[in-house]
Amino acid sequence: MKKLILLAAAAALAGGAYTAQAAPVTYVPALGGNIGYSYNSAADGIHNMYLEFSPLNRLVVGAEYRDWINRDNETDVYAKYRLGHMYLGLGSRDYNDHGSKTFGLVEGMTNLADRLDAYAGLKVSSVEYEAKVGVLYDLAPSFDLDINYTYYDRDDVSNEDGVGIGVNYRF
């Protein structure tokens, strides 16, 4: 729990910058991966799909597609490196309404109970930041239920926040 609090504090200190994120933070072993879908109540609603794969120990590459209902879509491509219970990474977000932006990310997770993990993440770009906290509950050996809260702060639109729910499959 201390690690989660420290990560949240680090995210708050970085608040002067701008970001983006959506996939839950999960541990991805070498040659393993995750695929998932979630829905978030922010704005008019957001459908999100992502795929992550670890080609090498500690390295994860991923892609994510976010469909903002009644708004433009966004696509992320990223790589992140695991340091203990944290990930540090870089990526590119394609904003259909104004080009692509590079973002940095920091994410962390910790185990709360036998089948329950907590996570937090922050992505920062020159036009946006997104902070997310959530919990993952193991439904079955390869499936997780994801419940989260996400806050979006983008320069050219009003700030949005919402509760999300999703399911993830580990392979």
CA angle 67, 23, 43 (to 5 degrees): 40
Domains in the chain, CATH or no CATH each = 2-170 (2.40.160)
Predicted TM-score (pTM) above 0.75: yes
Judge whether residue 58 has pLDDT over 50: yes
pLDDT band at 32 (very low <50, low <70, confident <90, very high): very high
Selected residue with higher pLDDT from 85 and 12: 85
In eight-state DSSP terms, residue 9 is H
User: Mean pLDDT throughout 142-167?
Assistant: 93
DSSP character string of 81-142: EEETTEEEEEEEEEETTTEEEEEEEEEEEEEEETTEEEEEEEEEBSSEEEEEEEEEEEEETT
pLDDT digits (tens, 9 = 90+) for 79-121: 999 999 999 999 999 987 778 999 999 999 999 999 999 999 9
The neighbour count for residue 78, using CB atoms within 10 Å, is 25
pLDDT at 26: 81
Q: Tell me the C-alpha distance between 58 and 121, whole Å.
A: 17
